[in-house]
Amino acid sequence: MHDDTAQPNRTATRPDATVADHVVAAAAARGAKRIWGVPGGGSSLDLIAAAAPAGLDFVLCRHEGSAAMMAIADAELTSAPGIVLTTKGPGLSNAANGVSCATLERTPLLLVTDGFTPAQTGWITHQVFDQRLATAAYVKAHARCEGDDPVAELEHLLDSATAHPRGAVHLDLTSAAAKRPARPCRRDPTPILPLPDLTQVRALLHGARRPVIVLGLEATEAAPEARRLAESLGCPVLVTYKAKGVIADAHPLHAGIFTGGTLEAQVVGAADLILLVGADPVEFILQPWRYTAPVAEVAARPYPVHYTPVAAGAYGPIAHIVAALADDAPLSRWTEAEIAGHRNAMRNALAWPAGGGGVAPPRIVQMVAEAAARAGRDPRATVDAGAHMFSATAFWPCSRPRDLLISNGLATMGFALPAGIAAALHDPARGAVAFTGDGGLMMCVAELATAVDHAARLVTVVFNDGALSLIDVKQQQRQLPSAGVRWGRADFAMVAEGFGARGFRAQDEAGLAAALDAAFAHDGPSLVDVQVDPAGYMQQLQAMRG
């Protein structure tokens, strides 16, 4: 996860180094490049002052929840903990959705909030609530760095964020604590985990004729090994949304996406063994397990709550386990033609032909990929929650892990734009495309200004349908009267221009192609507001989830 040989940098080894210096130095030593947030007047100002000397950029965001989502995307791309700073009270409350998101995405994140000293809470009530209690429901650990060895407390906190299941931790840091002088502490190297006993998993694999592999979020760290195992078995591979690209979409064994719904039921139902690899059930939708074939599992840790009993599991260093299984995996009876048949059937079930007003979402996604290729670009994609998500995840081509970033543990709206900014800043040569609904965008639209501040090479594509379409479709499925799910269509191109980004609007395929070419030609943030033809959403949802 991080380089354990890395030493705290010069800032932290200075004799007058403070706790704030150590916070940024520890983050930098673990590979962090940026701190995201909205400061208050306390420790957040100490951290901002300490950031630049330690080589970290502070990115001023418009909302703390969005800052946390930027930190999540950053962490998923750097493999270092994401770092967020906020003020106390309202800053912490605003951050809650993004911080809980980190825990449910299994992404390490350090939230540093301003805090109150015990003496202050004796006479102050303004902005005061129990901050530890407030984050307790969604962080793994909490610290104040007020003890004798604050740096050890800090390192322990960061270790907790990066230990499986990874997630958010909270440093409640008063300015007084941030300013205390502190000495570095020695970090013990992370112990190398032993390979678990593979006998049972191996026996199941050797007894199976038609296994399938499901790759989940932990498999992003074992992509070459997972591909080698799949090729040894010659069997279909399905990926969760967060594992898109672990096996390339174009690979002949790639069969499609696994959500736990109906779309993949034909290919998974034809298997005599289901091998889950790093497939944290946090990504599966709310439907009971529908398969009778035995399940074997390889993961970093056993999951305390699961959808299915596991016949045999191997838990530990996932890349090593998968590599060991690949060494003697027997060739299955699947043919590539059968797998292609399943893959094509799944794709066809999600597409729909061009109809009346607007552009069909599967077409929008394909056209964005075509326009990026025309512009000689290879952007990462970020995807929001909503009906447009099915098309973005199915039709955006991925060939490497983290080519596509999505919230699929919390599955929150308002993720794609902030995550797209972080992806674009992480790798300006590739840049990013953010696919978002109009509802999700409105939850974080002010971050367009953050994208402008940093000249992010980000194209935001808004599926503008004047509705919370996913909920609209669910309402229709339940044959309820239409209420509470629609609103007017905003002009997001104009909104983008207002923030200083370029904005374009499109109502049909010809207009969309031209808008996308202009957006990709712009060397900074741009937004394409495309009118959606929602006619196929109902059938698409039915195909996905039954």
Ligand X SMILES: Cc1ncc(C[n+]2csc(CCOP(=O)(O)OP(=O)(O)O)c2C)c(N)n1
Contacting positions for ligand X (CB under 6 A): 384-388, 411-414, 437-440, 463, 465, 467-471
As a whole number of angstroms, the distance between CA 195 and CA 298 comes to 11
Give the shortest CB-273-to-ligand X separation in angstroms.
33
3-class secondary structure per residue, 214-231: EECHHHHHCHHHHHHHHH
Q: Closest CB to ligand X among 469 and 531?
A: 469
Residue 264, C-beta contacts closer than 8 angstroms, at least 6 positions apart? 238, 255, 256, 257, 258, 346
Give the shortest CB-355-to-ligand X separation in angstroms.
17
As a whole number of angstroms, the distance between CA 50 and CA 489 comes to 44
**Are 109 and 82 within 8 A, CB to CB?**
yes
Q: Closest CB to ligand X among 214 and 364?
A: 364
Q: Closest CB to ligand X among 215 and 434?
A: 434
Give the shortest CB-410-to-ligand X separation in angstroms.
8
Q: Closest CB to ligand X among 62 and 426?
A: 62
Give the shortest CB-411-to-ligand X separation in angstroms.
5
Give the shortest CB-301-to-ligand X separation in angstroms.
26
Give the shortest CB-358-to-ligand X separation in angstroms.
12
Q: Closest CB to ligand X among 213 and 496?
A: 496
Q: Closest CB to ligand X among 56 and 104?
A: 104
As a whole number of angstroms, the distance between CA 385 and CA 366 comes to 19
462 membership: H or E segment, kind and range: strand 458-464
In this structure, how many other beta carbons lie within 10 angstroms of the beta carbon of residue 377? 16
| Sign of the dihedral defined by the CA atoms of residues 246, 250, 256, 257, in that order | positive
Instruction: Return the ∠ at Cα 52 (arms to 22 and 89), rounded to 5°.
Output: 65
Give the residue closest to ligand X by C-beta.
437
Give the shortest CB-460-to-ligand X separation in angstroms.
13
Phi, psi of 324 (to 5 degrees): -65, -40
Q: Closest CB to ligand X among 37 and 386?
A: 386
- According to DSSP, residue 270 is labeled T
- Name which of 243, 399, 251, 232 is nearest 323 in CA terms: 232
